[in-house]
Structure 1
């Protein structure tokens, strides 16, 4: 038993390391596409950037289910090793890309690295008893922090390879480096792990797919669409977000995007422990509620708006005899108006947590004009400024990423509880839906940006998804509660005292 425990921990470590490398490769386009567009090596639009960031995620999503099935059937050692070697080929070919379509095709190929999650989940779970699976899978999921490897080190690698951007074509060496890392990891994985498959009976494909008839699988998938898919989407999207909204250079944008990715990956282990201790459903309630609140806070964009405000109308008929910034005089009777104070003149150079405003009134009449009672004399102007401070934004984004990290572990804690003999299949399907979030969201972000002109429009999607997930989960919990205590439901008014 002691050897088995040691072997389990060793397998979990190698699994997590391999997943971290794969996740870093999976997120390559977050940095590389932004670099290629910023340096005008390719003239791709925001929508095309969204597609290129999402395409690898698409491949990683749709092949998670077959990867999970293969792992349940043959074990994780041959499947994971083969995946690492296969992904190295299109990654290598990416260095020869010269157009949107060749780049997209190679991205489809190395996007298979995203299936490593389904393989690792299934291969890790067979080594641990049920009461420890939440923590084990949470530790494995910390490999999500591999996104930070690319966003943090990627700009520095590109700067080195391009000689400080003086030789932009040096970017072509970067995919070769990633391909080499995948091959080395494949060798380490093959030499360091022992194969193991689920102890139950080996079923046919139709039997393995039978759990997918359960609506519960699809509900878990929607949760994962939010907490994982949107995490993947923002791990890439935050890089151009920071460069465009706040004017940061690629290295700073990558660093801040890493600050979003690292805690979300590391805290996933803590999320697994919380799910083991308090229950996955209780954890998900708080995750979805937190996601909704923070998305609302991030939705407000940077803005500098001038709008019509409260004006000033003539209290009597007569002749305008004098006008100043503070008064309008009618028939030698002065009436005060609100003067402009210019208090927002330097607002951009100051720190402001909340939106701030200034209102004033500007005369629309001239000296000598004849006016009637209630005629508009001065129109109101309202100036609203919201800084959307970069550091406050970053803190909220990091907090949201961390909450999603806890949620990722909580979602996968459900799977061995409800489907103990089909973890690979169910985990694969949930991973497919989550991965589709990482593919679809950057594309939607691009269209939202084009349609609204607001970078913050992406958070509207997060708010909507959070509300839908929370509402669905609460509805299910309420039905379960009613079924468990039908008498309480029927006599609630009496029972409440």
Structure 2
């Protein structure tokens, strides 16, 4: 019941989380390279458990506490979880047996850790920081996002957030199959491109913006004789004005508005009796822009981001047994650590961005920048590898691209 006991229990959960890296290494040794992406994707689909927990754990907790009347009932929940873990451990113990990479049996600790010297490991870690760390961070961040931006209840916000988290976990198996069939690099290009486009669209905040618009200036000097909402009279010259808009005229916040809407009007800047010179301002222009950031379009885009992240998680781990077949555990563990670090760091970054700007959509700007960094880094590395291994082919591709750009067609 003490705080120190709570911390020790949390440490135990953290240590048990290392089983993911162990599972990656254990799973990969059972399958040939052409099937490892699918196998690791199926293994990693267990991430969907986080979404299932967020959906069903509150219901179970409500039942165990009798709707909040018996608060001590919550203690039954970790016991149920512990029983499930114990059952899983027993099944694994009796239904599996040990299998190691042959070369790894004679490797020293220094040799096992040697892959960490390669920049490639840290590049994979940055990819995983985005696709897994971003997934974990958004699974937490989307609930307050929906509550604050769209004024939803916590229950409804949690349901909509699960549209992001649950498919993202399940689709990981499909991402593994795609990585085997099309190649991890090709899949990562599509993943990063999709996240970048969706993040760019999501970064536009829900807003009501007022800006100076087109005004009305006097054509000749005179004295103002009449001022109304729709006209100003100076001498014998009548200047027609656009009257101010009302919500009923153009802005229906409850309707479906996929694109920003704007309306302009003019407000008199003079009063009766004023002497007006030529080209003096008679009426100020006002332009009002309303962007609804429709919740269903937002949710669809978030769903696309979740799917891309789920596929990307499998594609990142497909790289590891290809490049480090004898150090899958070490490299997979380090990549997983960097991904988990993203789940911890990203919400903190989101909080500082929100505090500094007051705009919730700044989290998507962060994802856009991070995705572009990953995409550019990956592309530069691939170009460097291509020039190193097949310089003639690389030059031919660049020459053809230059011809297409210059002549508008390929020879």
C-alpha distance in 2 between matches for 1:359 and 1:347: 16
C-alpha distance in 1 between matches for 2:102 and 2:160: 44
Please tell me whether the aligned partners of residues 241 and 455 of structure 1 are also in contact (alpha carbons under 8 angstroms): yes
Name the stretch that deviates more: 182-191 or 298-307. 182-191
C-alpha deviations, 1:316-372, integer Å up to 9, x for none? 221111122221111131111222232566521111001111111111221221122
Which of 345, 356, 365 matches 1:440?
345
Q: Provide the aligned C-alpha RMSD in A.
A: 2.5
- Structure-to-structure mapping, 1:49-448, within 5 angstroms: 107-165=10-68, 174-202=77-105, 203-343=107-247, 346-448=251-353
Gaps of 5+ in 1: 1-92
Equivalent residue number for residue 363 of structure 2: 458
Change (3 A) 1:206 1:342: same
Shift of residue 270, structure 1, vs aligned partner: 1.1
Please tell me whether the aligned partners of residues 271 and 410 of structure 1 are also in contact (alpha carbons under 8 angstroms): yes
Name the stretch that deviates more: 481-490 or 426-435. 481-490
Shift of residue 171, structure 1, vs aligned partner: 5.1
C-alpha distance in 2 between matches for 1:129 and 1:335: 80
How high is the TM-score relative to the length of structure 1?
A: 0.75
SS at match of 1:307: strand
Please tell me whether the aligned partners of residues 155 and 250 of structure 1 are also in contact (alpha carbons under 8 angstroms): no
Change (3 A) 1:286 1:214: same
Equivalent residue number for residue 470 of structure 1: 375
Name the stretch that deviates more: 308-317 or 261-270. 308-317
Change (3 A) 1:398 1:279: same
Please tell me whether the aligned partners of residues 29 and 100 of structure 2 are also in contact (alpha carbons under 8 angstroms): yes
How high is the TM-score relative to the length of structure 2?
A: 0.90
Shift of residue 118, structure 1, vs aligned partner: 0.9
C-alpha distance in 1 between matches for 2:67 and 2:207: 34
C-alpha distance in 2 between matches for 1:361 and 1:173: 66
SS at match of 2:215: strand
C-alpha distance in 2 between matches for 1:400 and 1:106: 33
Shift of residue 484, structure 1, vs aligned partner: 3.0
C-alpha distance in 2 between matches for 1:154 and 1:243: 20
Please tell me whether the aligned partners of residues 251 and 290 of structure 2 are also in contact (alpha carbons under 8 angstroms): no
Gaps of 5+ in 2: 404-410
C-alpha deviations, 1:110-156, integer Å up to 9, x for none? 23343232121111112222221111001111111111112211332
Shift of residue 306, structure 1, vs aligned partner: 2.1
Change (3 A) 1:299 1:237: same
Shift of residue 199, structure 1, vs aligned partner: 2.6
C-alpha distance in 1 between matches for 2:332 and 2:91: 25
Please tell me whether the aligned partners of residues 199 and 368 of structure 2 are also in contact (alpha carbons under 8 angstroms): yes
Which of 370, 378, 388 matches 1:483?
388
